[in-house]
Structure 1
Amino acid sequence: MRSSTGSRGVARPHASVTLYGRASHPTGSMRVAVLHDHLSFIGGGERVALALAGAFDADLFVTDLDPGLPTRAGLRSVRATELGKAPRTPILRQERQAAAFRRAELPGYDVYVFSGNWAIEAAPRHRPNLWYCHTPTRVFYDLREDFLRDLSPPKRVAARAWIRRARPRYEADVATIGRVVANSRNVAGRVARYLHRSAEVVYPPVDTARY
């Protein structure tokens, strides 16, 4: 992928017809939006989302934004926007995050890059797109029974109902993804096994200057 230097002196990649299928501005700078589940703490997925936004000079859209987090992660220049807040309560939190992305309207970008489990709810209305998959939502698949076993009987009933409702919607969203990229061979295997999609493996970035 080639890069050009924008007005702020930041290298911005040109749209790649090979990667994204088409480019609305093949000779100009590509506008990229990165969508990630949340930015309330710094985990592995959050670091990757910030790194993607920084690398592509992209706008980052999340739920539960801690505005100081990009600076603490060493990526102060990343422009992050909060789409909504979600409670801490499991299941309700995931539902609220998914709803925030489902309602999102973010026109004007050349490509949309999704990261995480719930940001892909925005995929049907935001194309062309790419999903950097950290793992399929495992409580829908191989960890389902382990997840349910740890719950009290009333919560188990509610969780089963949520999985029955949310999994088909999740799989329908995945079907609207143009290209899937996995962060490891193991994750690529899960993508093939559970979602019936092929995924190119691209390992997360490493700051080699620290070693």
Structure 2
Amino acid sequence: MKNYLLYDFMQVAGGAERVTLTLAEAFPEFQTLVSRCYPEAQPLLDGSAAKVQELRGGWSARLPRILESLWCFRFRAERLQNANTVLYSGFYAPLAVYQQRSGRRLYYCHTIPRFAYDLYDSTLAGFPFWLRPFYAVFVRWFRAQYEAAIGRMDRIFVNSENVRARLQRYTGLDAEVVYPPVATQHFRFLADEGYYLSTARLVPNKRVDVIVRAFLQMPDRFLVVLSGGPELERLKAIAGEAPNIRFTGWQADEALRRWVGNARCVIYLPVDEDFGMSPVEAMAAGKPVIGVAEGGLLETVLPGETGVLIAPDPAPQAVMDAVARIEQIHGERLSAQCRQRARRFTEAAFIDRMQAILR
């Protein structure tokens, strides 16, 4: 009898990938399976002691990544037949549950596949009109597959109350909250060099454009955009030649920690974020957070104690007001409160909880 950890694919150095590797390192008796490891995730894999096995191969390697992942887990996971415990995560890996004929079936949900639920309309609108009927058929099929698969699980866990409510709303299934592991032990207060930091991936739903527009109106405040993504060139065009806005591109973990450790504050304004590790990393370094009062940030950032939360759908002026507030309250007391708050979301706390569940 064997134990397995399943996740869709190692795509980037993202939060779900980090959770997968944390579990793989903490529970080496579990084999970790993904459909494929992509080059963008290689630096993360190189820094981990975990062994990750790929299911890819044969003709399906020519498929787009989502279809390949669906195929691999549905038809290439025969090794699960006599499993003792399987912990599934992601959107596509749960389809392997049909291969499991014995043992416990557990599901850790980072988020539901939002492209098929609450973000379906906006995702559909992004396709050319002639592709939309095909996408609609795929989503209808996928919803049925996903809901049937997770409905076979013995227990379902989610990474926040926010995701728990979303899962229940769209599938009718309840879950237990297990906050994800944040590597708080690697983040420390180094100095306060006065700059503000954005660490979010440069995609529309992270609203980094709102942050950039705010700092265009605050030439005496410095912003560092510490990430990359498809919106990079558009955001650079918005910033123009502003001397107080700097784009660094993606940084290695060590450099990221230095930037956070020397910042005055981290700004993070995603649309209905599932949980959000960046604010916790910032607080672990004793840095307050300017966030948005929605999604997972409502569970991590304490307004007035560890940062400032601004109203949903924020405008640049709201960011400017929040920066003014941080300038008034930043200091050792706020920094200590941030570090204290981050201790609730440590890797150790996550592993202890998962140990009780898995063993």
TM-score range, shorter chain: 0.7 to 0.9
Match status 1:205 vs 2:205:
no
Show the counterpart of 1:138. Answer: 114
Amino acid at match of 1:206: V
After superposition, the Cα gap between the structure-2 partners of 1:41 and 1:105, relative to the gap in structure 1 and judged at 3 Å, is same
Q: Structure 1 residue 201: deviation in Å?
A: 0.6
Show the counterpart of 2:79. Answer: 106
Please tell me the root mean square deviation across aligned C-alpha atoms, in Å. Answer: 2.2
Q: Structure 1 residue 66: deviation in Å?
A: 4.7
Measured in 1, the distance between the counterparts of 2:172 and 2:109 equals 14
Q: Structure 1 residue 101: deviation in Å?
A: 0.3
After superposition, the Cα gap between the structure-2 partners of 1:88 and 1:153, relative to the gap in structure 1 and judged at 3 Å, is farther
Show the counterpart of 1:62. Answer: 34
Show the counterpart of 1:37. Answer: 8
Measured in 2, the distance between the counterparts of 1:122 and 1:198 equals 21
Show the counterpart of 1:49. Answer: 20
For residues 24-78 of structure 1, give each alpha carbon's deviation from its aligned partner in whole angstroms, at most 9, with x where no partner exists. Answer: 7xxxxxx431000001322111111111111111211001225955543x322x1
Show the counterpart of 2:207. Answer: none
Measured in 2, the distance between the counterparts of 1:97 and 1:55 equals 25
Measured in 2, the distance between the counterparts of 1:173 and 1:145 equals 24
Q: Structure 1 residue 169: deviation in Å?
A: 1.3
Amino acid at match of 1:118: Y
TM-score, structure 2 normalization: 0.46
Amino acid at match of 1:75: S
Q: Which runs of 5+ in 2 are unaligned?
A: 188-359
Larger radius of gyration: 2
Q: Choose the corresponding residue for 1:116, options 90, 97, 108.
A: 90
Amino acid at match of 1:35: L
Q: Structure 1 residue 128: deviation in Å?
A: 1.3
Measured in 2, the distance between the counterparts of 1:88 and 1:195 equals 32
After superposition, the Cα gap between the structure-2 partners of 1:166 and 1:41, relative to the gap in structure 1 and judged at 3 Å, is same
Q: Structure 1 residue 109: deviation in Å?
A: 3.3
Amino acid at match of 2:22: A
Show the counterpart of 1:97. Answer: 69
Structure 2 counterparts to residues 19-38 of structure 1, below 5 A: 31-38=2-9
Report SS of the residue matched to 1:110: strand
Show the counterpart of 2:159. Answer: 183
Q: Which runs of 5+ in 1 are unaligned?
A: 1-23, 25-30
Q: Choose the corresponding residue for 2:142, options 159, 163, 166.
A: 166
Identity %: 34
Measured in 2, the distance between the counterparts of 1:64 and 1:194 equals 29
Q: Structure 1 residue 84: deviation in Å?
A: 1.0
Tell me which protein shows more strand as a share of its residues. Answer: 1
Query: Are 1:39 and 1:69, in contact at CA under 8 Å, matched by a contact in 2?
Result: no
For residues 61-114 of structure 1, give each alpha carbon's deviation from its aligned partner in whole angstroms, at most 9, with x where no partner exists. Answer: 001225955543x322x121110167798xx43222111101111244321011
After superposition, the Cα gap between the structure-2 partners of 1:144 and 1:87, relative to the gap in structure 1 and judged at 3 Å, is farther
After superposition, the Cα gap between the structure-2 partners of 1:210 and 1:54, relative to the gap in structure 1 and judged at 3 Å, is same
Amino acid at match of 1:112: V
TM-score, structure 1 normalization: 0.76
Give the number of equivalent residue pairs: 178
Report SS of the residue matched to 2:131: helix
Report SS of the residue matched to 1:129: strand
